[in-house]
Amino acid sequence: MLPPMSLTLPLALLLGCPASDPERNEAARYITEVQPLMLENRLLAERRLQLAAEIYNGRMEGDALVKRWDEEVVPLSRHLHMQAELVEAPDAWKELHTTLVTTWTDRSRAYTDMGEALALSDKKRWEDARALHGSVLKREEQWFDSVRNRLAPYELELQQYP
């Protein structure tokens, strides 16, 4: 049996459970909005790794590689950055979310440029796209670190690879 309502709030406060913490609620709302994108982000990483393994094992090259890249990696990266743009981040999370959107938009551009560089055998474009992708990887990790640091006081977590 639960204690009477008159005791519930004081008990919650004594146990360290705030009745309502607006900052924690905003953080939880943001994570609820962004967590589904992490599933798609994981899928994108898996697709890239699958292609890399096939290239390494000599089972993928030339036109077949360009076709798979353009049909699997590029559309998924575009969809992911477009989905991120649709997230309505709480005010306290808008700046950090804008960083994620910019990062994933740049990744989509890098993947598009990589595919075009492969199709055209354009070494300079490939190197430029790889440099952009390297920057994206660093910024994405910094974003995850920032999110983890902001969530830690609330004992909340964003699963990077659910």
pLDDT (tens, 9 = 90+) of the chain, 162 residues, equals 444 444 343 334 334 445 478 999 999 999 999 999 999 999 999 999 999 888 888 887 788 888 999 999 999 999 999 999 999 999 999 999 999 999 999 999 999 999 999 899 999 999 999 999 999 999 999 999 999 999 999 999 999 988
Contacts of 99-103 spanning 24+ positions with Cβ under 8 A: 99/139, 99/143, 99/146, 100/34, 100/140, 100/143, 102/139, 103/136, 103/139, 103/140, 103/143
Q: Is residue 9 part of a domain?
A: no
Domain with 26 in it: 22-154
Q: Is residue 55 part of a domain?
A: yes
Q: Is residue 122 part of a domain?
A: yes
Q: Is residue 114 part of a domain?
A: yes
Q: Is residue 16 part of a domain?
A: no
Q: Is residue 2 part of a domain?
A: no
Q: Is residue 13 part of a domain?
A: no
pTM across the whole model? 0.83
How many domains does the chain fold into?
1
